Amino acid sequence: MQLAWRRKVPGPRRFSPERLRALEHLDRPDLDPEERRRSYADLDTIARLPGQSGPLWRAVRRLARRHQASRGGPPLRLLELGAGTGALGLRLAARLAARGARVELVLTDLRAEQLPPGGESGRLKVVPRRLDALRDAFPETDIAFANLLIHHFAGEEARALLERMRGAARLGGAVYDLDRNAFAFRFVGWTFPLWVRSPVTASDALASVQQAFRTDELLRLARDAGIEAPRARRIMGLRNLLWWEARAEAPRIVQPGV
């Protein structure tokens, strides 16, 4: 419980309809490592709550159905951007593998030290990799996805990220993030301090909502990024899911340096 979190970690106090950028505490390089670990543990717990990862799982599963690899052929390649500890991507990939798919999961983050070790077990291969989502070349992939990442970027950066995902993913991609609205701001402001283990989580949750994109803004960014027929919807008044299917089975675009 973090009822006195405001004394420990400053955070936004009032919701603004306008998008207000802020550097979240978890993104600060000087954050205490133990506080960082506790906050990441909070995020992993959140991802397990009912309704949190389900919409992203259904979008990835639908895209995965288009993968027509024959026995002995190439595995289904998944690329997660801003993976954090990799816990969410691992769960999605494991569920696909349990359904009979051969899966190669590339977990990427700007901070690679918290990513899980690589390895191969059964039908699942895991490849951790440090990657700057705006500057480094993406590995070729079938499906690219990101959870709680896009709100960290300015509008033009977010558009560029979506454009890079579109170019790298043969089957399509998905973005799962928060929605900027007063209900979401008040909900996380009242509930998170009651159960999270880190005051960083309570503060960053409000900052994340305040700088998140609304559903219509995400759709506009996707269209500006050249994504054909993007789909987006708000979920439970708290989250947004943006996803798209590539229109043609075109050869993967291998970016320079891969």
Per-residue pLDDT tens over the stretch 52-99: 889 999 999 999 988 764 445 789 999 999 999 999 999 999 999 999
Q: Predicted confidence band at 252 (pLDDT cuts at 50, 70, 90)? A: very low
Structure confidence at residue 207 (pLDDT): 96
Which fold, 35-245?
Rossmann fold (3.40.50)
Answer yes or no: is pLDDT of 258 > 50.
no
Q: Are 116 and 85 in contact (CB under 8 A)?
A: yes
Burial 91-109 (b: 16+ CB within 10 A, else e): ebbbbbbeeebbbbbbbbb
Q: What is the CA radius of gyration of the chain?
A: 18
Domain boundaries, the chain: 35-245
222: Cβ contacts below 8 Å, ≥ 6 apart: 162, 230, 232, 242, 244
Answer yes or no: is pLDDT of 11 > 80.
no
- What value does the mean pLDDT take over residues 101-115? 94
Angle at 43 between CA 192 and CA 62, to 5 degrees: 120
Longest pairwise C-alpha distance within the chain: 58
Torsional sign, CA 139, 177, 21, 110: negative
Output the CA–CA distances (angstroms, integers) from residue 37 to 5, 192, 205, 209, 223, in the order listed: 17, 17, 16, 21, 37
How many Cβ atoms from other residues are within 10 Å of residue 143's Cβ?
A: 29
Answer yes or no: is pLDDT of 113 > 60.
yes
d(CA 220, CA 78): 25
Structure confidence at residue 67 (pLDDT): 78
Answer yes or no: is pLDDT of 257 > 50.
no
Q: Predicted confidence band at 125 (pLDDT cuts at 50, 70, 90)? A: very high
pTM of the model: 0.90
Three-class SS string for 70-81?
Answer: CCCCCCEEEEEE
Q: Give the mean pLDDT of the chain.
A: 89
Give which of 166, 163, 201, 187 is closest to 236, Cα–Cα: 187
Percent of the chain with pLDDT over 70: 91
Give which of 113, 136, 133, 116 is closest to 125, Cα–Cα: 116
Give which of 10, 17, 75 is closest to 217, Cα–Cα: 17
- What value does the mean pLDDT take over residues 120-137? 95
d(CA 230, CA 162): 11
Give which of 150, 204, 148 is closest to 35, Cα–Cα: 204
Structure confidence at residue 75 (pLDDT): 93
Structure confidence at residue 68 (pLDDT): 60
